[in-house]
Amino acid sequence: MIALLFDIVGMTGTFLVVGAFFMLQLGKAKPTGLLYNMMNLSGAILLLISLCYNFNLASFVIEIFWIAASLIGLYKYLKAKQTTAIA
């Protein structure tokens, strides 16, 4: 039962990351936008959680980098939003 729960968490993360990429390719999301970066961040975190049950070092490392890239994107988004609000 617990394995199924971790599989559901991991698959949800996969759908978020892949869905963000598809939305980008279809022009429904911007690479600098909030939606794209939040989907990637959420998906990577969920995949990282699923790796706590079924650990794989390579997948763990790529999810850490995915989280870092998403946080950089969110920082740039918020910084641009703040700059726009001040101007």
Note down pLDDT in tens along the chain; length 87 residues. Answer: 999 999 999 999 999 999 999 999 999 999 999 999 999 999 999 999 999 999 999 999 999 999 999 999 999 999 999 988 886
CA distance linking residue 34 with residue 58, whole number of Å: 27
CA distance linking residue 87 with residue 83, whole number of Å: 6
> What is residue 87's three-state secondary structure?
coil
| pLDDT at site 85 | 86
| pLDDT at site 79 | 96
Q: Which of 8, 1, 16, 15 has its CA nearest to residue 50? A: 8
pTM above 0.85, yes or no: yes
